[in-house]
Structure 1
Amino acid sequence: MNNIQNNPGNPPPVFQFNSDSTFDFRAILIKYLRYWPWILSFIIVGVAAAFFINRYSTPIWSVESTVLIKDESSGMSMDLFENSGLIKSTNNIENEIGILKSYTLAEEAIQELNLNVQVFKQGMLGAVPAYGNQSMLVEVDWKHPQMVGGMMKLVKGQNNDFSLSFEESNFLAYNPADPFYKTQIENITLREGNYQFGEWIEGVNFRFRVKNISASPDEAFLFQLQDTPSLAKKYKNDLMVGPINKEASILSLRLETPVRRLGEDYLNTLMDVYLQRELNEKNRTSDNTVRFIENQLSDITDSLTFFEDRLEQYRTQNKVFNLSEEGNQIFQRMQELETERSQMEINLKYYQTLQNYLDTNSEEDLLVPSVVGISDPLLNSLVLNLGELQAEKVRLSSNFSEQTPAVREIKSKIDNTRNVLRENVNSAIRNTQSMLGELKGNIRQVEQQINVLPETERRLLGIQRKFTINENIYVYLLQKRAEAEITRASNSPKNTVLDWAKAGNMPVAPKTKVNYLLGMLLGLFIPLGFVAVRDFFNVKIEDVKELERLIKMPVVAKIGRAKYGVSVPVLSEPRSSVTEGFRSLRADMTYLSPHKKDNLTILFTSTVSGEGKTFCSVNTASAFALKGKRTLLMGLDLRKPKIAMDFGLENEQGISTCLSTDISWEKLVQKSQTENLDIFLSGPIPPNPAEILLQDKFEQIMKEIKDRYDVVVMDCPPVGLVSETKELFRYADINMFVFRQQYSRRESTELANEIYEKGGVKKLYGLMNDIHLNGVGGYGYGYGYGGNYGYHEDRQVSWWKRFVMKG
């Protein structure tokens, strides 16, 4: 490279086209508009798909209902334990939402509705869920393992029979012994065929029978078996529960379902089960009270009967019916003491029962102290609060694990309340036992007064005393039982259903307008997205503007795509736009090298093979020849010569022959069919093409050629593949670096910039070859340039492309 001449200066600013780096919206629009047939096709397909979805998909209905969650005052527990953390809020909306969305509640509702046999009817796009008005009834023995999940089809025969077949055979095995675990059935033992109505169809994994309700011959019936746990989980997840606003205690229940009546029935049943569950919890206290009182009554009834018989027998035998005035006074006093002692003994028995309950950590329902006549407000509030906490724990445990913070917190509150209650119960037991001791002492004093009475009256008083005591206790217990039964009968749920379930006037899905909009947007963005992704991963130069941004040298020529099969359009198609492009390049040479008007040497090279340097060399030389310039086209690509094929010549002798022998170059130059155009072919491929061009002889030949011809066009090998091209730059007045649209890689511009920036090559310019209508920058000429230099007929540019490319 020592012989390379220094660059006298940078090219004139008039050719510096790559200085504009602004965003070109017009170019982007043109790039995407050329895909309009694909975009339009995808939009039509998207809209058509939306139409079919709207027309044939199963409508989805939204069913809604509302429940009012009422406040319930907890009495003294709020006053006494509000700051201790031992009580909970009675209007806990989150807890009520958890109850309504619990698996247990969903399971009870499904069992109430008997939804285990799912019925379908045949629709345009498949089976559609149905509900009610069944022509056949499938009775399933759910205590037996069953095949669930798959769909079966029944067709009524002409007699009392039907045929059974499988529409979907993906069955799972449901085992009632392990209801939450199901396995895939590989071999179905249930055979397809004819069966009789009413007969049990039984096997290892199935047991059911079919009853005819109103089916007519050849009528089809589709059904699917679903186990209760699976249905409960599905409906539990599908149900949406939430307050109508942040401040309200009204919950909205919403369910989206393809069967409107089924959704309404399920929500109504769910609310019934929810209210009944709450009522059962309230009634449980009354039931426990009645049970406790009845146990006490069974004991006291025997004693009352026994003393009643003794009293009657003693009066008859001794003819004594009334006590004396003194005896009546003693009897009244004794009766009061005995009644008080009996009440205390009942209280003590309750305290001991409660103590045993706390010591065993039982979670059964508690009996409220006020039921047995204990009016201690502190004890009553503690027992009520403990019952509420335990009920809350049961509700939370049905939805959450033991390690959940909410469950752990409620357990901590239960433990704290138990400890406080245990201390109060122990204290009450001690006080009651002390009071019983005092009462017994008073009773002994009254018994001493009885001893002074006559024996007959004394014995009558004793029998009557015991009878009266048992009678009073009996009446008291009867009164308490009546009160408990009245309370039970008057119980009602504290929460209320405001609106029973009802569906909207229109289905919520499919959303017709949204589907059409999505169809259009998808039809628009799928092809655009594909183009964007393709362009993102594309490494080829797409248009002239991109080339101007990438290279630091001016781009002075834009050559379009020639017809297929035409290698020299300048000679064969003088009126084509490609020819006009080379004429423009010929005219620009005057400005690119103003001091070399009579003797001009032009070099064409590229980065890699296939970018069109030979095509540009041949046509540029032809353009100068047509102008009357004595022109020589030199084929300096000694490795892959192509010029001979374009002119129909034989490449038997040429430059390599001249440099390796003593034959004069004038004898090897061949005349073309075009006046003023001579061709100096490359000749046979030598074993050392790089070294053969570096001979001093080649430099002498170039001097002689320049003296003989007005224009010398050098078709050189790609500078990115071979090294000798860099040595050939020094012989040229103008060096053209050829790039090909949608063929040259972007990184190829780095080599051109490196050569340009080093400053050792004079007048280096870029040329964009094979520009066609698919170009993004708006330089399309309407040519088809395919293959290596693929050619086809000129195309008429459509009106819309002419419109967007105006200006």
Structure 2
Amino acid sequence: STGSLIKKYREKLEVSLLNKDASILVLKIRDYNVGKGVDFLNKLTEVFQFDNLLKKNENANRTIQFISSQLQNISDSLSISETRMESFQSEHQLLDISIQSQQLLEQMKELDKERVALETQNKYYHYLRDYIQKGTGQETETVIAPSAMGIQDPLLNSLILQLNELITEKSGQTSIRQSSQHPTIVRLNAQTESVKRSLRENVENIISQSDMALDNLNKRIRGFEAQVRRLPATERNFVNIERKYKLNNETYTFLLQKLSEAQIAKASNVSDSQVIEEAQIAGTGPVEPKKMIIYVAALLIGLAFPVGIIFLKDFFNTKVNSQEDIENITNIPIIGHVFLNQNEFSSHTLVLDKPNSPASEPFRAIRTKLNLITKGKRNPIIAITSTFPKEGKSYNAVNIASAIALANKSVVLLDLDLRNSALANQFALNSDIGLVNYIIGEATPDEIVFQTKHPRLHLIPAGPIPPNPAEMLTSDKLLKLIEILKEKYDVVILDTPPVAYVADMYQLRDLIDANTFIVRHKFTHKQA
């Protein structure tokens, strides 16, 4: 709509002073269409100047209208008096009049001329008084200047000028309702009323003086008219006719002169403002959008997005991702970090198959730390456990045992994970005999011990899966077997069930000298 379009451009338009001491206004507008923005500013300044000139011409138009109405009246009187004089001269064959009559006519002519000027001014004073008395009805109309009527009163001219300036300023407040109580409107109304009061007092005094001057002038004219009445009848009638003709002629000429002056004044009116420079594009290119800010914002968003995703993933992640996560949970010492690369080496017996590879070094470091932990204990029993299955418990048990065997110590690896046994498969054993067979009395200790790839490393597999694994691990025969193994081997490694999966290991805690807990990166839960 038109209203929304006006509001849009009003919000986009910026008006400011060139500097605080200058009277130059700088107009700016931001628009996606450069040509439209330039055309808008040029048209805005054009309309502003036209509106300013229109307001200045309103006063001149009222002056011209006032004089034209007076001319219309006097024109009819002049035409009638001219016709009467020509008829009188033709009828009485009168070509000239006496010297006395000429003198009277000239004197009365000057007095009539003076009376015409006074009457014209008197009409203007009454117009001015009527304007003031009408009050709010004409608050938006400027007043005809006294100089247009040949009045050169400095005080009156000054008051009229102040009143016109206040009226023009008030009518220029287009963004404020004229009847509102806005501070600007209230101030202008107060100043206007003050000037009108001074003007009213001045005009009343001038009207009184003007009326007195007219009365005095009329008395002098009546004196000359008495002299005219003493002239011969024909000559007297001619003098009266000629006098009236000359009076109308002088009045018509005077009004024509003032009309020409008013029209010239109107034609010479120019706007109070001047366009110093036409609208043009500021700078060398678009001011918006600012590419650098967009690039920086895009870069920051591009960085913030993945950082935010990483942060959210880390915030909602419940898995162990670093050594720091473990240290925040427990004070138990961390004895090593093991790396598994199944693409490079898929066998579970890494230390035995590649004892000199870099991947075997972490197990040697763990072996050293376990020696320090079990220092002073004869033939220690070391348990390897974890939270849940598939965390690398059996893999680490095999390779820790292998690392100890490479140190010329006899080691036996006992598979106590009766529910999910994996050691027999990792060592590729073909026998089904194991710990379960011993506990139920179907095999002797020597029958369940198997040789591995290394002569100092022996293995006792779990055997068949029993229906009651928890009860199996509390059997006295198991305790007796562990005592036998402790006397026979330098180190006993127990591959125990996961602690969060089953509670089987808790029954053997008094026999264990060192417990190694396996934590798998991005797999083990922090809360476990």
Calculate the TM-score normalised by the size of structure 2: 0.76
| Cα separation, 1, equivalents of 2:242 and 2:430 | 151
Q: Does 1:561 align with 2:335?
A: no
Q: Does 1:593 align with 2:370?
A: no
Aligned match for 1:666, one of 415, 426, 445: 445
Corresponding residue for residue 390 of structure 1 = 170
Checking the alignment, whether the CA contact within 8 Å between 1:611 and 1:743 is kept in structure 2 is yes
Corresponding residue for residue 352 of structure 2 = 571
Q: Does 1:293 align with 2:67?
A: yes
| Cα separation, 2, equivalents of 1:714 and 1:551 | 23
| Cα separation, 1, equivalents of 2:514 and 2:364 | 16
Checking the alignment, whether the CA contact within 8 Å between 1:240 and 1:253 is kept in structure 2 is yes
| Cα separation, 2, equivalents of 1:472 and 1:287 | 24
Q: Does 1:474 align with 2:248?
A: no
Checking the alignment, whether the CA contact within 8 Å between 2:384 and 2:495 is kept in structure 1 is yes
Checking the alignment, whether the CA contact within 8 Å between 1:635 and 1:714 is kept in structure 2 is yes
Where structure 1 has 5 or more consecutive residues not aligned to the other structure, the ranges are 1-177, 182-228, 752-807
What SS is found at the alignment partner of 1:526? helix
Within a 5 Å distance, the mapping from 1:591-630 to structure 2 comes to 591-596=372-377, 598-630=378-410
How far residue 372 of structure 1 moved from its aligned partner, in angstroms, is: 3.8
Checking the alignment, whether the CA contact within 8 Å between 1:599 and 1:709 is kept in structure 2 is yes
Within a 5 Å distance, the mapping from 1:80-479 to structure 2 comes to 242-252=16-26, 271-314=45-88, 319=94, 321=97, 323=101, 325=103, 329=107, 332-333=110-111, 336-337=114-115, 339-353=117-131, 355-356=133-134, 358-360=135-137, 363-364=140-141, 366-373=143-150, 375=153, 376-394=156-174, 396=175, 408-424=182-198, 426-427=200-201, 430-431=204-205, 434-435=208-209, 438=212, 441-442=215-216, 445-446=219-220, 449=223, 452-455=226-229, 456=233, 467=245, 469-479=247-257
How far residue 367 of structure 1 moved from its aligned partner, in angstroms, is: 3.8
Checking the alignment, whether the CA contact within 8 Å between 1:338 and 1:443 is kept in structure 2 is no
Instruction: Letter of the 1:481 partner, please give it.
Output: L
Q: State the aligned residue count.
A: 509
Instruction: Letter of the 1:336 partner, please give it.
Output: E
| Cα separation, 2, equivalents of 1:348 and 1:389 | 26
| Cα separation, 2, equivalents of 1:507 and 1:595 | 83
| Cα separation, 1, equivalents of 2:451 and 2:145 | 123
CA distance 1:247–1:685, shift in 2 (3 Å): farther
CA distance 1:531–1:606, shift in 2 (3 Å): farther
What SS is found at the alignment partner of 2:522? coil
Instruction: Letter of the 1:595 partner, please give it.
Output: G
| Cα separation, 1, equivalents of 2:250 and 2:70 | 13
| Cα separation, 2, equivalents of 1:511 and 1:359 | 51
Corresponding residue for residue 530 of structure 1 = 306
Corresponding residue for residue 706 of structure 1 = 486
What SS is found at the alignment partner of 1:387? helix
Checking the alignment, whether the CA contact within 8 Å between 1:603 and 1:729 is kept in structure 2 is no
Encode CA deviations 1:354-379: one digit per residue, 9 max, x unaligned. 543x3325535554454345541453
CA distance 1:651–1:610, shift in 2 (3 Å): farther
How far residue 589 of structure 1 moved from its aligned partner, in angstroms, is: 1.8
Encode CA deviations 1:410-431: one digit per residue, 9 max, x unaligned. 3323432443355345545644
| Cα separation, 2, equivalents of 1:651 and 1:381 | 125
Instruction: Letter of the 1:383 partner, please give it.
Output: L
Checking the alignment, whether the CA contact within 8 Å between 1:242 and 1:253 is kept in structure 2 is yes
| Cα separation, 1, equivalents of 2:256 and 2:75 | 11
How far residue 557 of structure 1 moved from its aligned partner, in angstroms, is: 0.7
Checking the alignment, whether the CA contact within 8 Å between 2:131 and 2:138 is kept in structure 1 is no
Corresponding residue for residue 487 of structure 1 = 265
Instruction: Letter of the 1:738 partner, please give it.
Output: I
Instruction: Letter of the 1:392 partner, please give it.
Output: G
How far residue 308 of structure 1 moved from its aligned partner, in angstroms, is: 3.7
Aligned match for 1:646, one of 419, 426, 448: 426
Checking the alignment, whether the CA contact within 8 Å between 2:57 and 2:269 is kept in structure 1 is yes
Where structure 2 has 5 or more consecutive residues not aligned to the other structure, the ranges are none
| Cα separation, 2, equivalents of 1:485 and 1:324 | 37
Checking the alignment, whether the CA contact within 8 Å between 1:370 and 1:380 is kept in structure 2 is no
Checking the alignment, whether the CA contact within 8 Å between 1:327 and 1:453 is kept in structure 2 is no
| Cα separation, 2, equivalents of 1:667 and 1:600 | 21
How far residue 344 of structure 1 moved from its aligned partner, in angstroms, is: 0.9
What SS is found at the alignment partner of 2:335? strand
| Cα separation, 2, equivalents of 1:311 and 1:550 | 131
Checking the alignment, whether the CA contact within 8 Å between 2:15 and 2:28 is kept in structure 1 is yes
How far residue 550 of structure 1 moved from its aligned partner, in angstroms, is: 6.0
What SS is found at the alignment partner of 1:605? strand
How far residue 678 of structure 1 moved from its aligned partner, in angstroms, is: 1.2
> What is the percentage of aligned positions where both structures have the same residue?
25
Encode CA deviations 1:590-645: one digit per residue, 9 max, x unaligned. 2222213x512222333444432232122212322344433333334455444444
CA distance 1:366–1:582, shift in 2 (3 Å): farther
Encode CA deviations 1:92-136: one digit per residue, 9 max, x unaligned. xxxxxxxxxxxxxxxxxxxxxxxxxxxxxxxxxxxxxxxxxxxxx
RMSD of aligned C-alpha atoms? 4.6
| Cα separation, 1, equivalents of 2:222 and 2:310 | 116
What SS is found at the alignment partner of 2:172? helix
| Cα separation, 1, equivalents of 2:303 and 2:430 | 49
Corresponding residue for residue 61 of structure 1 = none
Calculate the TM-score normalised by the size of structure 1: 0.53
Q: Could you say which structure has the higher strand fraction?
A: 1
Checking the alignment, whether the CA contact within 8 Å between 1:601 and 1:734 is kept in structure 2 is yes
Instruction: Letter of the 2:336 partner, please give it.
Output: A
CA distance 1:245–1:452, shift in 2 (3 Å): closer
CA distance 1:662–1:492, shift in 2 (3 Å): same
Q: Does 1:684 align with 2:465?
A: yes
Checking the alignment, whether the CA contact within 8 Å between 2:109 and 2:247 is kept in structure 1 is no
CA distance 1:335–1:682, shift in 2 (3 Å): farther
